[in-house]
Structure 1
Amino acid sequence: MIAQILVVDDDPVQRRLLKNALERHGHMVHLAENGLVGLEFLKHGGDQINVIVLDLMMPELDGLTFLKAIREKGIETPVIVQTGQGGIETVVEAMRAGAFDFVVKPVSPERIASSVANALTVDRREGRSKTARRSRSGSATFSDIVSASQEMQRVIDLAQRAAQSSIPVVLEGESGVGKEMVARAIQSASDRSGKPFITVNCGAIPENLVESVLFGHEKGAFTGATERHAGKFAEADGGTLFLDEIGNLPLEVQVKLLRAVQQGEIEAVGSGKVQKVDVRLISATNKDLIEEVREGRFREDLYYRLNVFPITIPALRRRKEDIPHLARVFADRFSHEQKLPRPVSVGPQAMALLTAHDWPGNIRELENAIFRAAVLAQTEELTEADFPQIAAQLPEFRSDELRAATTAPVVLPQGSEARRTAAWPVTLPVPEGFIGIPVQPPRPDPRALLAAAYPASANVIASTDSSGEVRKLSDVEEELIRFALKFYRGQMSQVARKLGIGRSTLYRKLKDYGIDPDNPLKEAA
């Protein structure tokens, strides 16, 4: 779709780059050197503008003020904000003010073009995304993978290259990041498209049955084997076998898997006959396989056979740009799948909340949160009140209603043994005939927590080393970051805020110092 786009940016070089990038896709681009000029342009010709690309940091009238001003005037044009090193807090505020998407400077031509294309698919009158919904048959293509971040674009590029051959692929990443969907997309883009795609969760099979499930068994091979079973390798013959959580395979089964990978031969349990199979193998793991090799839990020869083409899928907290797009797609999909009377959309306040959350369960957690909110929604637009579990973890996002709910007194039966100090905050229903007994333990004092968790000697960052010399600034900074991660229990937004730096800066420093955010006190290897 060809569109008219307004670029509001005080940097003339950035305006020119954006203009050239968007005009190459056939769009008509209008330029404004600051927020005041942009507002004046919208006042006289705003009806023709389909998308606004807005810089947040500008003199006279900054991007957030501009965004709030056009929303107050009732202008619902999708706005894509640009952010530099301001951190996620600025982005969250922009999403709360009604921004459609955000991009991180320097933005590539492909990224801004993709963001504009996504914005053009949104019908603001219906308040829902028109993004194509994936078939629930289980098939998936690369176009079904919702991505806006450069990190996921790199994943897709690598996966598309892997699809052109039968090279073994290992997909690495935390649980819930979408490893199976990437595997299905590789299958769909390969010459094995249309052939079987068989999935095996190696961590969900009892150890004594893994060999039988993978390679099959003959009738009578063991107690309970009342009939012949072909096995997953035989089922996947000619197609793709996806081994999820491969790091959980028992060592004795890894020997047979190595033979299947090297020679394309399998042998069913209780059979002396070797069977040839033609299987494309894609493995997935949320473990560090090389560490498993060091610990003797994974065979080194199998590791090098499987790890020919590794692809690491980043956690959702490391690609926040994908959250608004995923949230819209899920809301749209569940509206249709659940046959809701009215399609639901994600409102600005809810989008800001979702963007700020770190999503330890990754895409799966986000999908479940949207599912629950869509089914229980009382209005067409989801608000932060529809995500009480998420808002409870981010106090700065709690609405007055949520605060009231999370500070309500505990109600217990008269004389009940349950009358005791409850964990703050908690809410129980009020059955008829019960007597309310407020139990509201005060919020724990962070300083008291600190003193309890760390002795006085441990709560000191030394300024000199063992030789009496002043320590390097980088060493002190690393130690402080590790301490903050431990103290705030890995809540990245809070850590960055308390350290006075942006989230992007925090992530960069974690990478520079080799700090694992899930285990900050562990020294890098």
Structure 2
Amino acid sequence: MTGSILIVDDDPVQRRLLEAAVTKFGHTAIVADGGEAGLDMLDGPGARDVSVVILDLVMPGLDGIGVLKAMRERGIHIPVIVQTSQGGIDTVVSAMRHGAFDFVVKPASPDKLQASIGNALKVEAIEGEVRRTSRRKGGHLSFKDMITQSPAMDRVIRLGQKAAASNIPILIEGESGVGKELVARAIQGTGDRRSKPFVTVNCGAIPDNLVESILFGHEKGSFTGATEKHTGKFVEAHSGTLFLDEIGDLPLDVQVKLLRAVQDGEVDPVGGRSTVRVDIRLISATHRNLLQQVKDGKFREDLFYRLNVYPIFVPPLRDRRDDIPYLVEHFMEKVAPADTRHRLTGISAGALAMLRAYDWPGNIRQLENAVFRASVLCDGDVLTEEEFPQIRAQVSGTVNLDALGAQPQPPLPPDTHAGEDNARQGEGIAMPGPDTQVRLQPRFGTLRALDERGNVRALADVELEMIKLAIDHYNGQMSEVARRLGIGRSTLYRKLKEYGIDPETGRVERLAS
């Protein structure tokens, strides 16, 4: 199993043949009926799942060369296998010059196509790791670096990608440890300020008497102990992004000055004679209910509405349990020793089932600490329930661990990181034997034909339920939803409006009347 293969071809017969071949090879196929549709897919949130593109060169409208040019202009680094019935040398040279990875002539033999896809995946895995390493060394992260396969995070990523295109103030809400700072860094790394400073301030960790000085700076001698001039975090973040974590812990008197800084783009250093103008992107985060704090008089209402222009809620880990196997693998890789002879090879099915059954009040931070501790305790090469004694003690009273561990679970696919491929093709979380292999269980949905009284349900009810299921199954990718339902996009959007489903979020939400 690997990531999805995007097939871009205007010929419906050729699309079906390629889709059948790709599926037979063990990949997931996504199809687009032209160059514009293919680019839309590569520009959308679904691009995180695309590992290889199979691209027809001769298409009406935007042809294959046009797609290759657009991909290069937009910085889309996904290997492309081009195909055409016109196999002249000039065509080959032109495609390769514009960034194509490989070239096949229609009709491509299955062996040739499979070999080409396999080679593309290997190269993409290596190049992807190089890009990720360079981004992390430079402090530049994007939404492709977020380790998630959970539908609950799709909305977060979509909102974050839209926010990255503007300088609108953002408020990220969520429990402690869910990854609010990672979302903020991804917004910074996706926007125009990606090469500019990203300055983090934990407002809850600063003594009240120093908050103003740390945020806005101070002049030398402005107070006892001020032996040197300090510029302050706002000035440090000039031209970049200022991330104010735990904004709800700011004292009320500092909130007044923060409001002016956000409103006018000016700060007053402590002891300073003049204001300093700053150009920053402000992202705030909190685990508190700020609206309740406003009602309780602990947070200024005017500041709340200034910060809460574009709220993003990051769900807790208990609402995105599908991410746990991928996160466990990532943390195991982080803690892996340099000596490969003593590295862990995987985690048992029972241990992983136990981790998925736990509610994780400390969220991803707690999971990371648990995996690190277990990795140190482990004497063998596979993590088991014994390495998680505290988790086991809390889960064993409410969940039958023996039953969970006995469930058959095939191996994890290698594309465990959103938007990236695992260099170890076919591995994922490796297990010592077939009975203990682990992967995410596929999500299947069923529709009830009869109601509670045993009568056949109304067609409209079944249709609504089918649309909901399709939106959830294809993660809100409306083009794919319409294609799979066998209707046009305009028909789909009309039905969404009729049933009160919000097409913007791609989630089932009642629209305001």
Shorter chain as denominator, the TM-score bin is 0.5 to 0.7
Counterpart for residue 182 of structure 1: 183
C-alpha change, 1:325 and 1:300, in structure 2 (3 Å) is same
Letter of the structure 1 residue corresponding to residue 22 of structure 2: M
Query: What is the SS of the residue equivalent to 1:278?
Result: coil
- Residue aligning to 1:278: 279
Report the CA distance shift for 1:219/1:315 in structure 2 as closer, same or farther (over 3 A): same
What percent identity do the matched residue pairs reach? 53
| Structure 1 CA distance for aligned equivalents of residues 265 and 289 of structure 2 | 26
Instruction: Name 2:330's counterpart in structure 1.
Output: 329
The alignment status of 1:314 with 2:315, answered yes or no, reads yes
Matched, 1:156 2:150: no
1:26, distance to aligned residue in structure 2 (A): 7.6
Return the index of the structure with the highest Cα Rg: 1
Q: How does 1:248-259 map to 2 (within 5 A)?
A: 248-259=249-260
Shift in Å at residue 116 of structure 1?
13
Which one has more relative contact order, counting CA pairs under 8 Å at least 6 apart?
2
The answer to whether 1:305 aligns with 2:299 is no
Q: Is the 8 A contact 1:114 1:148 kept in 2?
A: no
- Offset of 1:228 from its aligned partner? 0.6
Residue 22 (structure 2) aligned to one of 14, 22, 28: 28
Contact 1:141/1:184 (<8 A) preserved: yes
In structure 2, distance between residues paired with 1:234 and 1:3: 43
Partner secondary structure for residue 193 of structure 2: coil
Contact preservation (8 Å) 1:265, 1:277:
yes
| Correspondence 1:53-92 to 2 at 5 A | none
Q: Secondary structure of the residue that 2:392 maps to in structure 1?
A: helix
Work out the CA distance in 1 between the residues paired with 2:16 and 2:300: 51
Name structure 2 gaps, 5 residues minimum.
Answer: 6-13, 30-44, 54-116, 119-126, 403-513
- 1:139 aligned onto 2:115: no
Give the letter for the 2:293 counterpart.
E
Tell me how far 1:28 sits from its aligned partner: 3.1
Aligned 8 A contact 1:111 1:150 in 2: no
In structure 2, the CA distance between the partners of 1:255 and 1:345, relative to structure 1 (3 Å rule), is same
Q: Secondary structure at the match of 1:321?
A: helix
Provide closer, same or farther for how the CA distance between residues 329 and 202 of structure 1 changes in structure 2, counting only shifts above 3 A.
same
Task: Give the count of matched residue pairs.
Answer: 303
1:394 Cα deviation from its structure 2 partner? 1.3
Q: TM-score, normalised by structure 2?
A: 0.54
Distance 1:4 1:275 in 2: 50
1:294 aligns with 2:285: no
Counterparts of 1:112 and 1:143, CA distance in 2: 6
TM-score under structure 1 normalisation? Answer: 0.53
- 5+ residue gaps, structure 1: 6-19, 31-48, 54-108, 122-129, 400-525
User: Could you tell me how far apart the structure 1 residues matched to 2:281 and 2:359 are?
Assistant: 35
- Aligned equivalents of 1:329 and 1:22: distance in 2? 36
Closer/same/farther in 2, CA of residues 168 and 339 from structure 1, 3 Å limit: farther
Distance 2:141 2:170 in 1: 17
Q: Deviations over 1:303-330 (max 9, x none)?
A: 1111110000000001111111111111
- Residues 195-215 of structure 1: CA distance to partner in whole angstroms, max 9, x if unpaired? 110000000001010000000
CA contact 2:350–2:385 (8 Å) conserved in 1: yes
One-letter code of the match for 1:203? G
Write the mapping of 1:374-413 to structure 2, written as runs, cut at 5 A: 374-395=375-396, 396=399
Cα gap change, 1:281/1:112 in structure 2, threshold over 3 Å: closer, same or farther?
closer
Q: For each residue in 1:149-179, what CA deviation from the matched residue of structure 2 results, as whole angstroms up to 9, or x when unmatched?
A: 1110110110010000110000000000000
Say if 1:256 and 1:176 are closer, same or farther in 2 by CA, change over 3 A.
same
Distance 2:17 2:234 in 1: 50
Q: How does 1:51-130 map to 2 (within 5 A)?
A: none
Please state how far the C-alpha of 1:139 moved relative to its aligned partner.
3.4
How many Å apart are 1:25 and its aligned residue?
6.9
Question: Deviations for 1:369-416, whole angstroms, at most 9, x for unmatched residues?
Answer: 1111122221221111111111011114668xxxxxxxxxxxxxxxxx
Cα RMSD of the aligned pairs, angstroms, is: 3.5
